A and B are shown apart, each in its own frame.
Chain A
């Protein structure tokens, strides 16, 4: 029973990781339609930015976290403003944009290895952050707890921003009817920049978590992003709530199924379930049928 409870708590943490990556991807994809696989690159960069701020510059953790979120948001917006807009302005299709994004991801991952070596960059402060607390009888590290709390706050902020502010309504409007958005005078370019910034800020949080937990490392983002994208599709593209429920499911499945399913089967089974679901309901659980 105790082990089950522990796995449940770990599952909550992992779900939050998928939740944030998926929300970030969904905000970007739902509005721009760009398959921004470099989302994984921003995830990785966020960890290294935090490393540089805390370890090289010696800034305190709170300031580093805030600065690193802002820098990640700017990096995401810059990817759009430079690379993607260059592709789109030359009439590049979304497929070309995806290939460009994949290329950029490779450059980021390999560039980091060239600069920092392939070894993880561990934080000298990590001992303190890996201190184990007992919460309702389950061991949770300080970083895991921080990740869950910051994650919940970020998701609440996202929800309020999307549903209660004018900018959020403009994003929703642009995602469902970009042509009319333009006609009423909304600048799609500005909306897209905002979406890239928000999406990148969201993916930075699990990036920090992984970096603080096991050291900043390159190449970790892709698998996480692909699973998160799966959650977005399972939930129904443009349905934040759907993506959240699917993320929870994937995170929980990964952890809880350890008891019954050999680890090397887990990913295959998740993808198998995904394929079945997509065949039955291609618009996702909460997506509108065409």
Chain B
């Protein structure tokens, strides 16, 4: 289980996360929503150790991640597909995917480049292409591929469907479910496409102004209530 308790983060003098308590259980898909600037990306950054936390704890299977380096956190089994700048534009598709596994090389049953190509066949066709020359949607597939290649037990996805054409959004969601069901990877997904993400999530957290203001199971609240929270 990935657990955040009373996490507080400031950037410069500005408090960004007030008091964040949330968790992702093993093999769960958890959606993480909230308005722009609420602090969702910052929360994911705190888990990966790229944002220092001032207060609170972050634990993976009862082991504190709080003082580990990002490299060690990745080694513990946490992967992140960031919202922005999530590919290496000066390298080929294949090289990008290889870099995903610098820390956790594929062991038995683990993710390999072949498995990423099975999920996104277009990437196989373009494996030698420089990622900087690909379309936004294709780049997003590479980004998800990099995240999978780190063989995480917990994968954090920051708006993976942004910039992807509508019919492929379903494909991305299906991929996430597949990765979750077939490989047992637990998912924490930030999404603006609330309707889509509620279809796949087991649980949902809503964030506003740096705090979690609501936790619910999809189907247990009506859309009117939901819009009031956002």
**Are A187 and B71 touching (Cβ within 8 A)?**
yes
When the two chains form the complex, which single residue of A169, A170, A172, A182 contacts B50, counting CB atoms closer than 8 Å?
A182
Task: Tell me the bound Cα distance from A264 to B91 in angstroms.
Answer: 44
Q: Which residues of B from 37 to 66 have beta carbons under 8 Å from A?
A: 48, 50
**Are B50 and A183 touching (Cβ within 8 A)?**
yes
Task: Tell me the bound Cα distance from A182 to B146 in angstroms.
Answer: 13
**Are B102 and A186 touching (Cβ within 8 A)?**
yes
Contacting chain A: which of B26-34, B80-88, B190-198? B80-88
Task: Tell me the bound Cα distance from A173 to B88 in angstroms.
Answer: 6
Closest-CB distance, B200 to chain A (whole angstroms): 23
Given A166-B98, A169-B99, A172-B90: A185 in contact with B85 (beta carbons within 8 A): no
Residues of A in contact (CB 8 Å), total: 17
Decide if B100 is an interface residue (CB 8 Å cutoff): yes
Task: Tell me the bound Cα distance from A279 to B41 in angstroms.
Answer: 39
Q: How large is the interface on B (under 10, 10 to 19, 20 to 34, 35 or more residues)?
A: 20 to 34
**DSSP majority for the A interface?**
helix
Which residues of the other chain, A, contact B74 by a CB distance below 8 angstroms?
Answer: 183-185
Closest-CB distance, B55 to chain A (whole angstroms): 21
When the two chains form the complex, which single residue of B69, B85, B90, B146 contacts A184, counting CB atoms closer than 8 Å?
B146
Decide if B6 is an interface residue (CB 8 Å cutoff): no
Which residues of the other chain, B, contact A175 by a CB distance below 8 angstroms?
Answer: 90
**B146-172 interface code vs A (CB 8 A; 1 in, 0 out):** 100010000000000000000000000
Instruction: Name the residue on B nearest A175 (C-beta).
Output: B90
**Are A172 and B91 touching (Cβ within 8 A)?**
yes
**Are A183 and B99 touching (Cβ within 8 A)?**
no
Task: Tell me the bound Cα distance from A169 to B150 in angstroms.
Answer: 16
Decide if A180 is an interface residue (CB 8 Å cutoff): yes
When the two chains form the complex, which single residue of B82, B91, B103, B146 contacts A179, counting CB atoms closer than 8 Å?
B82
**Are B88 and A176 touching (Cβ within 8 A)?**
yes
**Are A177 and B85 touching (Cβ within 8 A)?**
yes
Decide if B203 is an interface residue (CB 8 Å cutoff): no
When the two chains form the complex, which single residue of A166, A170, A185 contacts B70, counting CB atoms closer than 8 Å?
A185
Given A179-B50, A184-B74, A185-B71: A173 in contact with B99 (beta carbons within 8 A): yes
When the two chains form the complex, which single residue of A176, A179, A183, A185 contacts B89, counting CB atoms closer than 8 Å?
A176
Task: Tell me the bound Cα distance from A173 to B75 in angstroms.
Answer: 19
When the two chains form the complex, which single residue of A170, A172, A176, A183 contacts B82, counting CB atoms closer than 8 Å?
A183
Task: Tell me the bound Cα distance from A176 to B98 in angstroms.
Answer: 16
Decide if B95 is an interface residue (CB 8 Å cutoff): yes
When the two chains form the complex, which single residue of B87, B90, B95, B150 contacts A185, counting CB atoms closer than 8 Å?
B150
Given A182-B70, A183-B48: A172 in contact with B102 (beta carbons within 8 A): no
Q: Which residues of A from 187 to 203 have beta carbons under 8 Å from B?
A: 187
Task: Tell me the bound Cα distance from A99 to B182 in angstroms.
Answer: 55
Instruction: Name the residue on B nearest A186 (C-beta).
Output: B102
Given A169-B91, A172-B91, A177-B88: A184 in contact with B98 (beta carbons within 8 A): no
**Are A186 and B71 touching (Cβ within 8 A)?**
yes
Which has the most chain A C-beta neighbours within 10 Å: B71, B74, B91?
Answer: B71
Task: Tell me the bound Cα distance from A172 to B95 in angstroms.
Answer: 11
Task: Tell me the bound Cα distance from A186 to B98 in angstroms.
Answer: 12
Between-chain CB contacts (< 8 Å), 10 pairs: A169-B99, A170-B99, A172-B88, A177-B85, A179-B85, A182-B71, A184-B102, A185-B70, A185-B102, A185-B103
Q: Could you list 19 further interchain pairs (A-B, Cβ under 8 angstroms) beyond the known A169-B95, A172-B91, A182-B70?
A: A169-B91, A169-B98, A169-B99, A170-B99, A173-B99, A176-B88, A176-B89, A177-B88, A179-B82, A181-B99, A182-B50, A183-B50, A184-B146, A184-B150, A185-B103, A185-B104, A185-B150, A186-B71, A186-B99
Using CB atoms and an 8 Å cutoff, list the residues of chain A in contact with chain B. 166, 169-170, 172-173, 175-177, 179-187
